[in-house]
Amino acid sequence: MKIVIGGQVEKKEIEALVKQYGGDAVEVTVKNDLEAAMALKTGQADYYLGACYTGGGGALAMAIALVGKPNCATISMPGQPPTQEKVNQAVAQGAKAFGFTGDHKDKAVELIMTALTK
């Protein structure tokens, strides 16, 4: 599974968390937003993870623009931490790009990787 990290904040920390939860089953690359979204659009990546301060703005703006809103999911926002139910629902609906707030990165990545590696 190929995962690309975009977004505005915490990229290196998110990369480490993806490797921690995905192990040998994942290949992770950190890119700027445009490159990350293009990698998802062109099939060079299977999934996109990004963080910003709102969970949906800078985390997903380029992904929404390039792969479309139906393929993107904001799984946490300020004051609204991610839940496994919300992540599972996003995955079931076909989301390929996931946005969350930087302060929720630990739980968000854990829940996303749990859903993606089932």
Q: Are 48 and 3 in contact (CB under 8 A)?
A: yes
Query: Token pair of 44, please?
Result: 């060079």
- Mean pLDDT (10-residue bins), the chain, 118 residues: 96 97 94 96 98 92 96 96 97 97 97 94
Dist. CA 74–CA 50, nearest whole Å: 10
Give me the pLDDT at residue 56, please: 87
With H, G, I as helix, E, B as strand and everything else as coil, classify residue 79: coil
Give me the pLDDT at residue 22, please: 94
Q: Are 6 and 33 in contact (CB under 8 A)?
A: yes
User: What pTM does this model have?
Assistant: 0.96
Give me the pLDDT at residue 107, please: 98
Give me the pLDDT at residue 118, please: 82
Q: Are 101 and 53 in contact (CB under 8 A)?
A: yes
